[in-house]
Amino acid sequence: MTTIEHFEALRDTLEGDFFFDKLHRVIYSTDASAYKQEPLAVAYPKNKEDIKKIIHFAKQQKISVIPRTAGTSLAGQVVGDGIIVDVSKYLTEIVELNVLFQSLYGWWNGRKQCLRFAFYTLWKYPRPFISS
């Protein structure tokens, strides 16, 4: 059984934020669906090391990890009684721009993604973006 002391120890090792108070648990107990289940804790990792620590902790404590970011669920997939890991707060930056291979890598919505097609299109066909 995971205790408050276990959560406090994990919180002290993370660079990001880690909450297990009632307010954060209630906020993350629902998504856009009709489902509701209060998680044990909510984490906002700042880097890959934080994510590794959270996964390692969850494995040791036999707790589920529920990844969450903008638009991740409309049908109850991101509610549960584990640790909610919301990566949309800190992991939102470009980490590599490779002109030779015409690719752009970055952390968007918590995933390192390659935007090769978008970068290629903008590189070859630059144009102003106009909204109407």
Gap between the Cα atoms of 17 and 8, Å rounded: 11
Residues 99, 82, single domain; the answer is: no
> For position 76, which CATH number holds?
3.30.43.10
Residues 79, 16, single domain; the answer is: yes
For residue 131, name the pLDDT band (cuts at 50, 70, 90).
very low
Range of the domain at 19: 4-86
Cβ-based neighbour number of residue 20 at 10 Å: 19
Does residue 132 lie within any of the structural domains? no
Does residue 130 lie within any of the structural domains? no
| pLDDT in the model for residue 30 | 86
| pLDDT in the model for residue 107 | 59
Residues 76, 110, single domain; the answer is: no
Does residue 22 lie within any of the structural domains? yes
Which 3 state secondary structure label does DSSP give 86? strand
